[in-house]
Structure 1
Amino acid sequence: MCYSKALRKNREQIEQNLLGKLDANFEIPLEYLPYYHLNGFSHGNMYIIKMDEPEKIYPSSWGLIPKWATHNPEAFRKKSNTLNATAENIFERNSFKESAEDKRCLILSDGFFEPHHQNGVSIPHFCYQPSKEYPEGDLFLFAGLYNELDDDLYSATIITVAANTFFAEVHNKRKRMPLVLSDDLLEDWLDDGMNQSQLNELMAYGFTNKEFNAHAVTRDLYKKGIDTNSPRFVEPVDTGTLF
């Protein structure tokens, strides 16, 4: 599961980071706003790179609306949770199979939140990929699916896979993790020549080998009616858990 995420970098940092990988730039640069915490159930904007325009970054509401539901997205969302797509069945589920074939995307992020259960209590943990330049978390890209809602208006979902050893300790109840792609597989995920067998293999083995860190954050993240888009929601708190 991945129901909340961060993208704290400014536009220039993101475009610089993508140089040599995809060389993508924001199509609507003045619209972009960084965030510390985006709750997927708010259906706010993620930022995606699409198969057919790998040189551009577009905003996309979180929660894929399939083609057959675009006439009434709100009714679809009341019945279906498509914030995540389980890798093992994206070619079988009606909500995802068309996008899995020809509407794959990359989703920008520099952190995400997962629940760790300790003594019956859910403790949110912030997961990030430290680097020399960005010890607080470098940019990475989720594998995702998207669909058009209207002209230049999109919806998207994050693909999840079975957790590796590290994330099985973090997300110790459901043992899932979002698919963060290895840099050398980014273009493959967007390649319209990939068949179903090749894509299944990529999802099974394509998780990045760059190390992640995770630390507990305040349980205020779970409270309703407060603004969670602030630095304190990614800052570590002492709960006695170690990752």
Structure 2
Amino acid sequence: MCYSTALRKEREKIEKELRNQINVKFDAQSTYQPYFHLNGFTHGNLQIIKMDQPDIITDASWGLIPDWAIHNPEVFRKKSNTLNARSESIFEKPTYRDSAENKRCLILADGFFEPHHENGKAIPYFCYQPSKSNPKGEVFLFAGLYNEIDDKTLSATILTTEANDFFMEVHNKGKRMPLILDPHYFEDWLDEGMSNQQINELMATGISKKQFSAHPVSNDFYKKGIDTNKPYIIEEVQKNTLF
């Protein structure tokens, strides 16, 4: 599962960093501001790249609303959790089927949080993709689905898949991970000509091979009433990390 993300960079930095992978610009109407912790259950905005606008980064409320629920998204969200969708079953679920075929998207992040369990206790871990030029984490793109709520509002979900060896150690109870696409497959994911079989094959083989890092962060992450959208929430809380 992936219910909390980070995107800490300014717009211009994001556009520049992605330029060699996908040439995109922020929509002039985007409300994006850098964040250290976006809790999916607040249904705040993710930043996405849609199939029909592959050169634009736009806002989308986190938690996909299918067509039959757009008349009352609040009621739907109280009954259904669509922050994530299991990639293995998107063509089987009525909630996701149409979006999987016609409304795929890429979702921006430069970090996300997963629970690591020790002695029956969940410890929040911050996961990111360091590089020599960006030791605090590169921007990467999740495979996602979206739908329109109205003419001005989109909704989106992050796809998940079976954890690889690294994330099996991090997310050691659920053993899932978000489907982080290799840049080689960005254009394919947004290609309207992809068949369902090709999409399934891409989801199975297109996961990024870039190395991730992860470390434990403050337990404030799990506490109610605390504003954790602050720089400290991604900082390592102990000198040595298992991963």
TM range (shorter): over 0.9
Matches within 5 A, 1:1-243: 1-28=1-28, 31-238=31-238, 241-243=241-243
- Classify the secondary structure of the residue corresponding to 2:147: strand
Unaligned 5+ runs, structure 2: none
Q: What RMSD in Å do the two structures reach over aligned CA positions? A: 1.1
Query: Residues 29, 135 of structure 1: CA spacing in aligned structure 2 closer, same or farther, 3 A cutoff?
Result: farther
- Classify the secondary structure of the residue corresponding to 2:156: strand
Instruction: Tell me which amino acid in the other structure corresponds to 2:118.
Output: Q
Residues 163-212 of structure 1: per-residue CA shift (max 9 Å, x gap):
00000000000100000000100000000111111111111111101000
Checking the alignment, whether the CA contact within 8 Å between 1:11 and 1:29 is kept in structure 2 is no
Shift of residue 17, structure 1, vs aligned partner: 1.2
Residues 210-230 of structure 1: per-residue CA shift (max 9 Å, x gap):
000000001110000110100
State the distance in 2 between where 1:239 and 1:100 align.
42
Query: Residues 241, 133 of structure 1: CA spacing in aligned structure 2 closer, same or farther, 3 A cutoff?
Result: closer
Instruction: Tell me which amino acid in the other structure corresponds to 1:197.
Output: Q
Shift of residue 65, structure 1, vs aligned partner: 0.3
Residues 121-149 of structure 1: per-residue CA shift (max 9 Å, x gap):
10000000001221011100000000011
Instruction: Tell me which amino acid in the other structure corresponds to 1:50.
Output: K
State the distance in 2 between where 1:110 and 1:151 align.
29
The range that moved more, 25-34 or 157-166, is: 25-34
- Classify the secondary structure of the residue corresponding to 1:208: coil
Shift of residue 160, structure 1, vs aligned partner: 0.1
Instruction: Tell me which amino acid in the other structure corresponds to 1:151.
Output: D
TM-score by length of 1: 0.98
State the distance in 1 between where 2:118 and 2:241 align.
9
Query: Residues 30, 45 of structure 1: CA spacing in aligned structure 2 closer, same or farther, 3 A cutoff?
Result: closer
State the distance in 2 between where 1:21 and 1:164 align.
23
Checking the alignment, whether the CA contact within 8 Å between 2:30 and 2:59 is kept in structure 1 is no
- Classify the secondary structure of the residue corresponding to 2:180: coil
Checking the alignment, whether the CA contact within 8 Å between 2:110 and 2:137 is kept in structure 1 is yes
Checking the alignment, whether the CA contact within 8 Å between 1:102 and 1:192 is kept in structure 2 is yes
Checking the alignment, whether the CA contact within 8 Å between 2:30 and 2:58 is kept in structure 1 is no
TM-score by length of 2: 0.98
Instruction: Tell me which amino acid in the other structure corresponds to 2:84.
Output: N
